[in-house]
Amino acid sequence: MTEPTHRDKGTLVLAFITGLSINGSFSVLFSAIVPFSIFPLIALGLAAWCLHQRYLNRAMPEGMPSLAAAFFLLGILLYSAIVRAEYPDIGSNFVPTILMVALIFWIGLRIKAGRK
């Protein structure tokens, strides 16, 4: 038996990049500590547009929306942990790191269950 339509890795990567860039855009626009850069805004626009085009033109396999949402949340948490490590005045990165680890384990279980 062949594996059903393999997980669309492009959608997951785009969801991850969208999560990173949405948190980056929020940080550069509303945080005085993080210096301004236009690149998170450009990345957010391009990633969201590509993700929308992929959604319109391809059918999503079963279980893919929850994995894409998990990758989106993982991107948000990863950027938050990195910024908090770089600028400790913002606060501790303990909570985002713990949530990332739990989310990575959940993603691993979902991908492993999808292969069976």
pLDDT per residue over 62-103, tens digit each?
A: 888 999 999 999 999 999 999 999 999 888 999 999 999 999
Domain boundaries, the chain: 9-115
Measuring CA to CA, how many Å separate 96 from each of 10, 80, 81, 89, 99?
25, 7, 6, 16, 5
Assigned token pair, 26: 């929020």
Q: pLDDT of 18-42, one tens digit each? A: 999 999 999 999 988 889 999 999 9
Measuring CA to CA, how many Å separate 75 from each of 2, 12, 55, 63, 115?
31, 10, 19, 19, 24
